[in-house]
Structure 1
Amino acid sequence: MTKFSIDRDQLHSERVASFVDRLESDSYEDLNEESLFVSEYVDETIGSPKTLLPNYNFDRILAQLPYNDVIYVTVCPECIQKSDFNNFKTLVERKAITPILTAPYSRYSENIADFVYSHHHVNSYEYHAYRYFGVTEIGPGRICSHCVSLWEKNTKRSISRSINIRKHRDDVDRIIENLYPFISPDNELLDEFKYAVKSKNSEQISHVTNMSETIYSIRTAQVFNSPINIDGKDIATLPTGVTSDIDEAITISSSLDMEVAKGLGLKIPTDIDINSYLDIVENFRPLISREINRITSQSKENIRSDFAEIQREIMNINAEVERIAKSRRYMLLEACSGFYGKNAALANAALFAGAFGLAGSLAGCIGGPAASGAVGAATSGLVTLAKKNKWVSGGPAVDRLSDKISSDLQPFLAKMTALYVGASTPAVNVMSLRTQIEKSTKK
């Protein structure tokens, strides 16, 4: 019996080509609700703000996860080595990242192709089609394809005539690949390359070629609605016409978020099991993002002039955190937190009394301002009580629920704590987050 096999590349190549043909014609209505993407998750998130990473780098992905809940990663056939596969698999299975394949399925190892094919991803045909239409909308106009062909032909001929720069013949192909589809601002870069060839300036030829790769990364990030995760120095070297439509705030907003988190001490250690790390990230990412956005939201409109204000805010919060930690009232809350953590029945009552404003005589400790420090202990006590009475079974799922309850209640209880200890809510939030993250990493 002949084994039936599906040619994945042929299937999706033909599907996407048909979609593009209808999109470029006047038959928009024929598409109805059909999407370019097979994955429903991709279809839902492709247009929303996200972080796009230019290659698979495990450490870089971990560094981005606490601040971004939608991360796309372009994956070439050489990106995932055998030693990377288990971590890559975990990240994809838990939707921590969405892989974008830059080459046909057949170019990847069988285990990677089989795994990715059965999970949410963007295949290479979808990627190139989406990027093509996205780039054409960025520029004010397209460059005539015939003109580009003439430029390619004449430039290669000029390079072949000179021994000194003959090695740069392949750079012409790299530039065409990086800039396609060509839009009006690219004329400036093509002219620079042509002048460098005419001058037989090997260094300048390499420089312009590298600039084309930077432009590729910038435009891809713009199309995917992502911060531009490349070195600002690389952007500074680009011709003015090419960079005129780049929002400066977008180029540095991602790194700014990480700087603020680092300044506030809101860092999740990465030297733990990947599943444990993802559990912690999922619990605390909304709270970390809330604090970062509160500090940076206005400054991102005028990022350079306001950076000093951001730094000042970080200093003030850190100073206030130090003051709170030494205050007698906060020490009292910490003592109450420890007490309730060891007495499950009281923790159970206190948690609900505090959460619903029915604190009564418990208000002295957890019912009113006990808040952020004690809520984790109270929730933990409640879960312990439930396990002891066999209301729920133990395990990671229950522990995650405990963390989730603590995270959900934390903003409300932080306000009460702030009133009680005479501090600002942001400072209490930061202090509570530091404590909760530290405790979570020690579980």
Structure 2
Amino acid sequence: MATSPQPSLPAPRPRSGISRRLLILATASGLLATATACGSAVNTTGGSSSNGLITLSMHNPDSKTQDPATYQLVQEFNAQHPDMKIRLEGQPVDQHEQRMTIAAQSDTLPEIFWVYDSLAKTMVRNGNLLDLTPILAENGLKAKFAPSMLAGFRQQGIQYGVPYQALITGFYYNKDILREHGIAVPETFDDLLAAVKKLKAAGVVPIAQGANNSAFSVWAFLTMLDRFGYEAKYPDVLSGKARYDNADFLRLYRHVRELAKAGAFPDNMNTQTYAQAVASYTSGRAAFLDAGVWEAEKIQKSQVGKSTGFWAGPTFSDGVGDQKLVMNVPSAPFVVSAKVKRDRKKYAAVKAFIQFYYSDAGQKILVDNAQPPVTTYQPDIDSAKDTVFAAVLAEAAKSGWKSPKAQPDLVVSTATASAMYDSFYGVMGGTLSPEEAAGHVQKTLK
């Protein structure tokens, strides 16, 4: 697993999730300022040069264990370019976002860094980021990307970002459990609801979920939101022309309540973490797991690896628009500080790293670490050995299915994204009605 691409957020709290989130961010900011002054806020990952020519700043304190693909890419690059060594550093997500915000204001941004797209767009408006168009134009690099992988990171005519990794999310499922209880792999919501009722009656946890310090872990439900017209609606929702608590979104939340009432989620959902939910699935105690491609390798090595498949989630007869959607989108981007252009050697190093990262050799390193390529590189997967990863890639490439342009929480502010997570878990846990849940998100929108 590279790492879950979302931050560890607090468990949902009715009507107070946003204030708690802001308190945590304020605390993190204060701690960050203190730690930075002491020189201890940033963890330099082993294997990278402490005095590298350029710095790559990530959202993981320890990339070697939390994001081995990026770690290996940096090691390979440094070995091939001893005169362009990269210093790899990282902090937890919230601290990283705060640090990048402060660095942008003080003109001390690292040369390359990971950042949420909402913050990147603010940096573009403030002139903090380099236009990557000339770099992508060299060696035919731009042609290696599907247009959707770059389009979301373009603003004001500037290609300000490139995709760090791809997000493929949905439900892992245990074929043996489904077979034992005479359940076919669901296709529609009604299929899923019927499966949940049958599994619950048999004493099996239908869907492994963990909300404690993991409120972000609702990926499959974010895809469901797209099946109720989110992609077409969200620009108007953000501009105030439409509301989040609209009739279409409310129908989805009511379906989530149906699942909850049928016993879809574990009794300890609000006290267990996402990692514990994964463990419940890999130990064979749950039929489905809401997760993404980053868990493929871990599941493959577990006792349920040989019996695991992957499913993009249910279609809805009362949904809006195309129901054949699978979430296969670029995650938050890599961006480059605009000041790099002032230094010829650093610009050359940044260009060389981007060219390497998105080359076939670089993408193979992603694939070797169970991450899907973000370019058109065609991986050679041993489908007999890597059955789980192969199942994820096959589901993402199903004929007649398409992907939204972005995951719903990655095109809104941090406060709104946090409220979206809390809204789903609130309905799942029975602490919020569908109307209260949608209204909770609406309150974050100006």
* TM-score where L is the length of structure 1: 0.23
More strand by share: 2
**Bigger helix fraction:** 1
Larger radius of gyration: 1
Structure 2 length normalisation: TM-score? 0.23
